[in-house]
Amino acid sequence: MSRNWKSATCLLCVLPILSCSGARPPGLGVSGGGLSPCPSSPNCVSSDAPDEGHRVEAFVLAVAPDAGWRAVREEVAALPRTTVVTEQPNYLHAQCASAVFGFVDDLEVHLPEGSAELAVRSASRVGTSDLGVNRRRVERLRETLRARGVVR
């Protein structure tokens, strides 16, 4: 066998492993008035999480909810390698892919009826550790919205 053929065969064997999108997890969305709980693994953050390891602060709106929701939708859609999958009047689900291996994370934002706070959740689909990627994504989104005057 030629060296190139062996390399190509090896690459074909490895590609399915590197395609790390994972299946869309069940339970995404709003249930019981909140976003789904984080698993026990450290690769998820949520403003609805009761424990410090998974918890991030909710986004407190500094503008009217309608204007805030429009800005959130714009900023989420502008995140690198991000696709908005579900958009409802008070719920947004986006898939965010990593640059190198294509790992997919699920980013969710929820605006409860009559509230001035946005609940947010970001979680990896595969693996255990995300090396802080989901927390950084949420905090970058918060800072972008803060710079626009949308959240406090």
Summarised one tens digit per residue, pLDDT across range 39-69 is 999 999 999 999 999 999 999 999 999 999 9
Q: List the one residue out of 41, 48, 47 whose CA is nearest residue 130.
A: 41
Instruction: Supply the DSSP symbol for 151.
Output: B
Has residue 20 got a pLDDT over 60? no
Has residue 133 got a pLDDT over 50? yes
Has residue 2 got a pLDDT over 70? no
What pTM did the predictor assign? 0.85
Distance CA 131, CA 114 (A): 35
Answer for the pair 99, 80: CB distance below 8 angstroms, yes or no: yes
Q: What is the largest CA-CA distance in the chain?
A: 68
Answer for the pair 135, 56: CB distance below 8 angstroms, yes or no: yes
Half-sphere exposure of 46 (CA within 13 A, CB side): 24
Q: What is the pLDDT of residue 9?
A: 44
Burial 4-28 (b: 16+ CB within 10 A, else e): eeeeeeeeeeeeeeeebeeeeeeeb
Q: What is the pLDDT of residue 25?
A: 87
Residue 97 identity? A
Answer for the pair 150, 72: CB distance below 8 angstroms, yes or no: yes
Domains and CATH numbers, the chain: 20-147 (3.30.310.80)
Q: What is the pLDDT of residue 39?
A: 94
Summarised one tens digit per residue, pLDDT across range 88-122 is 999 999 999 998 899 999 999 999 999 999 999 99
